[in-house]
Amino acid sequence: MAQVLEFRLPDLGEGLTEAEIVRWLVSVGDVVAIDQPVVEVETAKAMVEVPCPYGGVVTARYGEEGTELPVGAPLLTVAVGAAAGSGEEPGSAPGLSPTAAPDTASASDESSGNVLVGYGTAAPAARRRRVRRGSPTDSAARAGSLAVSGGPAVNGTTGPVPVVSPLVRRLAREHGLDLRELTGSGRDGLILRSDVEQAIRRSATRTPAPAAAAPTPAPAVLSAAPAVSAAPAVSSAQAGAVRVPLRGVRGAVADKLSRSRREIPDATCWVDADATELMAARAAMNAAGGPKISLLALLARICTAALARHPELNSTVDLAAREIVRLPQVHLGFAAQTDRGLVVPVVRDAQARSAESLSAEFARLTEAGRSGTLTPGDLTGGTFTLNNYGVFGVDGSTPIINHPEAAMLGVGRIVPKPWVHQGELAVRQVVQLSLTFDHRVCDGGTAGGFLRYVADCVEQPAVLLRAL
């Protein structure tokens, strides 16, 4: 005898309360194995494949791709037991009779027993309901999921639409565009976000402006000033505007930066440094053979050495206890720009790593960020952040501290500039370094000492030997 179990969106950890469906990995009628990934979701932290703890036949899915669901909302239902095992059609098999009593032992045997965060898979806590394929209940659930998605499903039954990005599909739904009417500018006709935005602008241009109402005689009322209506100005200013929801990674970044500005009294100091010797040292290390050493890895080694001298900057503030908590390990975050937005992966125990180990870990985390496979654990727990904004071709910046950390080191581009070297004017490789710090954990003397030590190591890499 089979029973239908409902699998709900589990708590994915790190305080996350919702996730967006990016891609379904199974369809209704598919047979799934225990712990098989069934859906790919995007949280504020990372892209995650969610495994289903039940084995059986998928009888219903809830939510279209691009829909945002809260933790605990139904994801799908699975027919577990006789119908699933025998290949019978769910909803028509006698084992799915609505009068059948729940088979607790069968459900336990068909679940993995693995406990997702906040979701005990083997416990009977998951609400169970029986759904017949094609039944009014199933139809209503599907209709509800379409309503939540904000518009009609763009992927109809007349053939696939050449769209990969769920963000593009969602943007089209929000503006009522039929993607089948668009010609993609991407490879093999792929519809890109720019194609959708152009279609939105064309649609706004084609929309005729409302005809002006015929003037009517004004009532005989004296007024000190003519009445002014702001509505037409607002409407004109927003014509053709594109609204982008602040959620996912962008929403998480917005919340964190806003909190940092609200809570942390930050200050910034900066200094120019001659990086010629550092660049020469890196070139010599890479010329000797072996794994290549990245510039970011050398800067990370300098940061960890400076934090050993100034531990105040590797700390956090406990407002409830009114204490500064100095941390023993340096979990070094580094800012990385990806297609999904700005992410800050964390290198654990950076103070104990060599330049080779740091280079390898930076490369691994950067690639994971670009492919969208960073886990929540890769993006949390940082104690100090290194921000190399020089890759964008800029010299300086005043970074916003990555809450709840106490400081961030910013590195600008390294470019040839006139520089006084050994008493003579010369062209040297110059970089601007900036340090934004929480003024609650230290004063300017400590921050200046940290930044000066970093600059000294950049100018004379041999200074690092004293810290080894």
Q: Per residue in 171-194, pLDDT tens?
A: 777 788 887 788 887 766 778 777
The answer on pLDDT for 282 being more than 50 is yes
Q: What is the pTM of this model?
A: 0.56
Question: What's the mean pLDDT in 112-117?
Answer: 44
128 and 189, same domain (yes or no):
no
Residue 285 lies in a domain: yes
The answer on pLDDT for 436 being more than 60 is yes
Per-residue b/e over 380-404, b at no fewer than 16 CB within 10 Å?
bebbbbbbbbbeeeebbbebbbbbb
Report how far apart, in Å, the C-alpha atoms of 272 and of each of 87, 122, 410 are.
Answer: 71, 60, 12
Residue 342 lies in a domain: yes
144 and 191, same domain (yes or no):
no
Query: What pLDDT sits at residue 297?
Result: 95
Query: What pLDDT sits at residue 195?
Result: 82
- pLDDT-based confidence at 256, cuts 50/70/90? confident
Question: What's the mean pLDDT in 250-269?
Answer: 89
78 and 171, same domain (yes or no):
no
Strands 315-318 and 323-326, bridge-based pairing: antiparallel
Residue 85 lies in a domain: yes
Query: What pLDDT sits at residue 411?
Result: 96
Query: What pLDDT sits at residue 326?
Result: 96
What CATH code is carried by the domain that includes residue 170?
4.10.320.10
- pLDDT-based confidence at 401, cuts 50/70/90? very high
197 and 136, same domain (yes or no):
no
Distance, CA of 165 to CA of 227 (rounded, Å)? 48
User: Measured on CA atoms in the order 252, 256, 261, 267, is the torsion positive or negative?
Assistant: negative
- pLDDT-based confidence at 15, cuts 50/70/90? low
Residue 155 lies in a domain: no
178 and 129, same domain (yes or no):
no
Distance, CA of 80 to CA of 85 (rounded, Å)? 8
Question: What's the mean pLDDT in 397-404?
Answer: 90
Q: How many CB atoms lie within 10 A of CB 440?
A: 15
Strands 18-24 and 36-42, bridge-based pairing: antiparallel
Contacts (Cβ under 8 Å, ≥6 apart) of 338? 369, 370, 372
What pLDDT digit, counting tens, does each position of 207-230 carry?
554 544 444 444 444 444 444 444
Given 105, 120, 148, the domain boundary residue is 148
Distance, CA of 242 to CA of 238 (rounded, Å)? 9
412 and 273, same domain (yes or no):
yes
280 and 143, same domain (yes or no):
no
Residue 158 lies in a domain: no
Query: What pLDDT sits at residue 167?
Result: 57
Query: What pLDDT sits at residue 68?
Result: 84
Residue 233 lies in a domain: no
Half-sphere exposure of 83 (CA within 13 A, CB side): 28
Query: What pLDDT sits at residue 153?
Result: 39
Q: Mean pLDDT lowest for which of 267-271, 369-373, 424-428?
A: 369-373
> Is residue 76 within 8 Å of 88, Cβ to Cβ?
no
The answer on pLDDT for 40 being more than 50 is yes
Detail the DSSP E strand segments found in 222-370: 266-274, 315-318, 323-326, 332-334, 336-338, 341-343, 346-347
440 and 295, same domain (yes or no):
yes
Amino acid at 422: Q
> Which contiguous run of DSSP H or E holds residue 68?
strand 68-70
20 and 59, same domain (yes or no):
yes
- pLDDT-based confidence at 25, cuts 50/70/90? very high
Distance, CA of 256 to CA of 15 (rounded, Å)? 13
Distance, CA of 68 to CA of 42 (rounded, Å)? 9
Contacts (Cβ under 8 Å, ≥6 apart) of 402? 256, 260, 333, 344, 382, 385, 408
Q: What burial class does residue 343 get, using C-beta atoms within 10 Å of its C-beta: 0-12 exposed, 13-18 middle, 19+ buried? A: buried
> Which contiguous run of DSSP H or E holds residue 304?
helix 295-309
Distance, CA of 259 to CA of 117 (rounded, Å)? 26
Give the total number of structural domains in the chain.
3
180 and 115, same domain (yes or no):
no
Taking the C-alpha atoms of 76, 81, 85 and 90 in order, what is their torsion angle to the nearest 10 degrees? -50
What CATH code is carried by the domain that includes residue 363?
3.30.559.10
Taking all residues of the chain, what is their mean pLDDT, rounded to a whole number? 77
Query: What pLDDT sits at residue 112?
Result: 47
Which tokens in the block code for residue 323? 């204490």
% pLDDT > 90, the chain: 41
Domain hosting residue 62, numbered range: 3-148
Which tokens in the block code for residue 121? 């898979």
Half-sphere exposure of 266 (CA within 13 A, CB side): 27
- Could you give the residue numbers annotated as active site? 439
43 and 132, same domain (yes or no):
yes
Q: What are phi and psi of 411, to 5 degrees?
A: -125, 120
Residue 243 lies in a domain: no
Residue 241 lies in a domain: no
**Which residues, in sequence order, are bridge partners of residue 428?**
417
Query: What pLDDT sits at residue 237?
Result: 67
Tokens 């070297």 belong to residue: 421
Tell which residue, 427, 428, 433, has the closest CA to residue 456. Answer: 433
183 and 300, same domain (yes or no):
no
Tell which residue, 80, 92, 69, has the closest CA to residue 11. Answer: 69
